[in-house]
């Protein structure tokens, strides 16, 4: 089902490597340039050490760090495409691998806050998937909510890949959306500190099990002068079990063999636990084809734009003021 010490390409499926990249300390544009160089160097070294690897994943914030005093300034933002993504593309092409990278992306609308973006680059050097974080980690993150939905792309070894970013993985509906669009390998990149270590492991497993898909997840590792980041690269099987679990070590490379065909087979042949199918086909033993309407109020309200919690009026925190962000909106919240 998977392995810890893989270095060769399996005959079925593919080999993945998730890099527990050290938490960057970024104070200048020159620091970002050094981060890009380090990511490129690490990608090439990983391919050299694991010749059969076909997908290499880097955590959220590995390019531009988490310097909250500067991360919204123009100097710290990147464009897609841009010099940074061009360097990543060349590296993927030269190494012959798929790569997953994190970019804090300048918003094309200069009146709005930037996006927290992930990209997948294929072995030809082409950006084959671009995802903007749908659920920024409120109230600490100022990123503009993503507007590209949950895209899915072809990957190695018969995989269909999707990427979510950090807190996105706490939203079960987002994993379900990826699976609903055909994803069988769900990638999660993050920059969490240790407060949610247990929840990280739990949700990576539950996202896999509830959707009969593999999950590949990796976090920053180490101390950046403010927070400690837990690493904990994790690959989960489509039955929700953990195949490989990293530790808290910066630079640890978590590898696993993934067999998308097995996840696809479960979706086609399982009955009792085919929950992603059963959601829209309730009681198909009694009702031929099943009842398609689950009658879930929150889904209907969300679709209609009227989602509202019963306790919403009593909540203490519903904006970013606790972290010093103005509440008036506009670019960077300053207008």
The contacts of residue 26 (CB under 8 Å, 6+ apart) are: 32, 35, 64, 65, 66, 67, 70, 76
- For residue 303, being part of any structural domain is answered with no
- For residue 135, being part of any structural domain is answered with yes
The domain in which residue 84 lies consists of 14-273
pTM (2 d.p.): 0.95
CATH classification of the domain holding 66: 3.60.110.10
- For residue 51, being part of any structural domain is answered with yes
In whole angstroms, what is the distance from residue 218 CA to residue 233 CA? 4
- Extended strands (E) in 98-233: 98-105, 115-121, 127-132, 153-154, 160-165, 185-190, 214-219, 221-223, 228-230
State whether residue 244 is helix, strand or coil.
strand
- For residue 191, being part of any structural domain is answered with yes
- For residue 37, being part of any structural domain is answered with yes
- For residue 174, being part of any structural domain is answered with yes
Domains in the chain, number: 1
- For residue 7, being part of any structural domain is answered with no
- For residue 306, being part of any structural domain is answered with no
Taking only the tens place, the pLDDT of each residue in 210-239 is 999 999 999 999 998 888 999 999 999 999
List residues with catalytic annotation: 60, 133, 166
Please report, for residues 15, 43, 156, 217, the alpha-carbon distance to residue 54 in angstroms, rounded to integers and kept in the order given. 6, 11, 7, 16
- Per the listing, tokens 């890099």 go with 19
In whole angstroms, what is the distance from residue 178 CA to residue 273 CA? 18
Q: What is the pLDDT along the chain (335 residues), one digit of tens a residue?
A: 445 557 888 888 999 999 999 999 999 999 999 999 999 999 999 999 999 999 999 999 999 999 888 878 888 999 999 999 999 999 999 999 999 999 999 999 989 999 999 999 999 999 999 999 999 999 989 999 999 999 999 999 999 999 999 999 999 999 999 999 999 999 999 999 888 889 999 999 999 999 999 999 999 999 988 889 999 999 999 999 999 999 999 999 999 999 999 999 999 999 989 999 999 999 999 999 999 998 999 999 999 999 999 999 999 999 988 888 888 766 664 44
């Amino acid at each position: 089902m998977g392995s810890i010490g893989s270095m060769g390409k399996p005959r079925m499926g593919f080999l993945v490597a998730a890099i527990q990249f050290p938490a960057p300390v970024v104070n200048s544009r020159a620091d970002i340039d050094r981060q890009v160089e380090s990511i490129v160097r690490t990608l090439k070294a990983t391919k050299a050490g694991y010749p059969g690897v076909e997908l290499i994943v880097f955590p959220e914030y590995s390019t531009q760090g988490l310097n909250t005093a500067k991360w919204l300034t123009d100097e710290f933002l990147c464009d897609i495409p841009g010099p940074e993504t061009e360097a990543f593309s060349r590296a993927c092409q030269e190494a012959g691998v798929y790569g997953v990278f994190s970019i804090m992306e300048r918003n094309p609308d200069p009146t709005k806050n930037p996006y927290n973006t992930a990209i997948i680059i294929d072995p030809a050097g082409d950006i084959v998937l671009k995802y903007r974080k749908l659920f920024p980690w409120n109230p600490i993150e100022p990123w503009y909510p993503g507007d590209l939905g949950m895209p899915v792309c072809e990957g190695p070894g018969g995989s269909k890949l999707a990427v979510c970013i950090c807190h996105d993985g706490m939203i079960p509906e987002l994993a379900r959306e990826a699976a609903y669009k055909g994803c069988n390998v769900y990638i999660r990149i993050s920059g969490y500190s240790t407060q949610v270590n247990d929840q990280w492991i739990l949700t990576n497993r539950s996202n896999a099990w509830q959707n009969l898909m593999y999950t590949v997840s990796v976090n920053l590792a180490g101390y950046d002068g403010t927070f400690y980041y837990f690493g904990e690269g994790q690959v989960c099987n489509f039955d929700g079990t953990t195949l490989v679990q990293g530790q808290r070590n910066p630079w640890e490379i978590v590898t696993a063999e993934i067999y998308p065909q097995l996840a696809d087979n479960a979706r086609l042949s399982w009955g009792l636990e085919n929950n992603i199918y059963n959601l829209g086909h309730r009681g198909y033993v009694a009702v031929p084809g099943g009842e398609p309407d689950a009658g879930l109020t929150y889904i209907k309200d969300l679709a209609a734009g009227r989602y509202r919690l019963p306790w919403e009026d009593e909540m203490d925190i519903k904006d970013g003021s606790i972290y010093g962000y103005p509440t008036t909106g506009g670019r960077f919240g300053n207008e």
